[in-house]
Structure 1
Amino acid sequence: MAGVLDSVNQRTQLVGQNRLELLLFRLDGTQIYGINVFKVKEVLQCPHLSIMPKSKPVVRGVASIRGGVLPILDLSIATGKPLLQDIQNTFAIITEYNDRVLGFLVRSVERIVNMRWEEILPPPKGAGRNHYLTAVTHVDGHLVEILDVEKILAEVSPVSESLSESVTEQAAQIQKKQEIPAKVLIADDSSVARKQVTRCLEGIGIEVIALNDGRQTLNYLKQIADEGKNPAHDFLMLISDIEMPEMDGYTLTTEIRHDPRMKDMHILLHTSLSGVFNLAMVKRVGASDFLAKFHPDELASRVMDRIKQLDGSQN
């Protein structure tokens, strides 16, 4: 356990190499689950929990950790399983998602494994729509399920997806004098994230094409280029997640920049990953912009700024 805790904060050198490290854990049962170490701030023996009146069953309580009060969610309940018993003998994985710090209660924490994104695969097609998986992989012959935490949070602690009136009014004004095609390409492995971004952009009159991962997106762009078209002319921008099966957003950006047929593509990296390393990596791989998930007004504003930029360049 000490080895897991000691290594959580030593992983930024993997960013941009199409690699990741997974923290493996279990709920009740033998199934192994994984979470990207970059989402993890620390791992603790379950701290003292104070019960919050009228809170949802998934929230087992709040804990005072390093000067802050954090909600602790039972990851077993969140994924439709029975609540974890004997919580004194559980662990809290303290994470940061979408600018929110919270803890996930799990039965046990196993170890950290170093993997390539090519080894991280989409969920099986027969898994249906009601699962909580964003990807799967194999470690030492065992199936590891990587949870779609964005879907879990959207269900247990939803954020507002509404656009403010001022943003929708601004979008309406831009649309009146817009002279360029308003179409955006999205790459994100989370179905919840794809829907959130799609609804946001469609709310300001933007046509959206949404794809599931970096590899699929790169192949799609290459197909357009093979037809003699310039993807940078077809789309206002690419909005790409960073964490995706088979090819992460950093590698996708690098591949696009290295292809002269699409190197001018405007790329906004849009991720729940936190940390200052993101801004450095944006410059390193040549991305145009970076935005933390999920702030609909800010996302819409970035797209409208791009429209105004392109309209201005044509005058």
Structure 2
Amino acid sequence: MSNLLSTVNQRTNLAGQNRFELLLFRLNGPQLFGINVFKVREVIQAPSLSEMPGSHPCVKGIAQLRGESVIVVDLSQATTGKPIADISKAFVIVTEYNRHVQGFLVSGVERIVNMNWEQIKPPPQGAGRGHYLTAVTELDNQLVQIIDVEKVFSEIIPVEEDVSDKVKEQSHKLDLTKILVLIADDSAVARNQIKRALESVNIPTALAKDGQEALQWLQNKAKETGDNFLRQVPLLISDIEMPRMDGYTLAAEIKADPALRGLHIILHSSLSGVFNEAMVKKVGADQFIAKFHPDELLSAVNFWLEQST
């Protein structure tokens, strides 16, 4: 399995071209699921797990991996309610999300495929609010579902969402009456986390579900407001992994558009590491922040709004 995860430099180059690699896996049954390979540290045969008393039912235990204690979540049970039948034959996808390392228990790992974010589509309309998908795609005439990991985590390991009073005080110095911050994220949970953080200090927001929708919104707003555009929309907070157009490509498109290029851009993602810092500079974004720390995010928002006044 370790050979699956080689050539990190190649993945870095793919990301700058709206491309990425998708690790395909199965839970229970023939349905294919996918995860961005750049979030995956390793794939291993399911190790022995230590019980974690009082934990969420979907947490199957703790694995000791290279001297690190890693929580292992049954991804099938978390998303479908049906646990992996035989853990002894299962695999663990060890990932890094939201500043934490965790393992996802899956029944089988298939292969890695090279994809373009334009091939990744939002979930079909009418799917309802109870699903765990951020996107879908098609491969070899078979549907591949991409799971909303932020939603899984919010239900199993809730994150702290309250903004401290100290950070809130920073926002009181700003004139927020005529501005709007655009939030672009394919996860409804992540969008609402950011929205609540900003609304806690009365910063108005607009929401987009992917990079293409965000770019269209900005272009329409720029035509509507003309020279007042940057005063009314000074800041974009964007995820990196999004259907149709990723955050890197969105940032590059904004900086290539004379009407938009003065917009400040915070890339806010569960991806982390030096790779993102390099890509931030490459595409012209202003800052990268790993999800999700409300004080850090709002402090950055305050800073860039101050630069816009």
Quick check: TM above 0.5? yes
In structure 1, the residue matched to 2:162 is 162
Question: In 2, are the aligned partners of 1:8 and 1:41 still within 8 Å (CA)?
Answer: no
Residue 24 (structure 2) aligns with: 24
Residues 6 and 266 of structure 1, relative CA distance in 2, 3 Å threshold: closer
In the alignment, what sits opposite 1:220?
217
Match of 2:191 in 1: 194
Gaps of 5+ in 1: none
Change over 3 Å in CA distance of 1:72–1:10 after alignment to 2: farther
2:178 corresponds to: 181
1:221-236 alignment runs, 5 A limit: 221-227=218-224, 229-230=226-227, 231-236=229-234
Could you tell me whether the CA contact under 8 Å between 2:20 and 2:114 is conserved in 1?
A: yes
1:275 aligns with 2:283: no
Note the C-alpha offset of 1:232: 2.1
Counterpart residue identity of residue 207, structure 1: P
Q: Which residue of 1 aligns with 2:99?
A: 99
Q: Secondary structure at the match of 1:79?
A: helix
RMSD of aligned Cα (Å) = 1.6
Unaligned runs of 5+ in 2: none
Distance of 2:8 and 2:85 partners within structure 1: 26
For this pair of structures, how many residues does the alignment match? 308
Length-normalised TM-score, structure 1: 0.94
Distance in 1, Cα, partners of 2:225 & 2:166: 39
Contact 2:231–2:308 under 8 Å retained in 1: no
Residue equivalent to 1:35: 35
Q: How far is the alpha carbon of 1:180 from its aligned partner?
A: 6.6
Runs of 4+ in 1 over 4 A off after TM superposition: 5-10
2:215, 2:254 within 8 Å by CA — same for their partners in 1? yes
Query: Residue 258 of structure 1 aligns with which residue?
Result: 256
Q: TM-score, normalised by structure 2?
A: 0.96
CA contact (8 A) 1:171 1:304 kept: yes
Question: Which position in structure 2 is the counterpart of 1:54?
Answer: 54
1:244 aligns with 2:242: yes
Partner of 2:282: 284
Matched position secondary structure for 1:111: strand
Query: Relative to structure 2, which stretch is displaced further, 94-103 or 230-239?
Result: 230-239
Find out whether 1:300 has 2:307 as its counterpart. Answer: no
Paired letter, 1:308: E
2:137 alignment partner AA: T
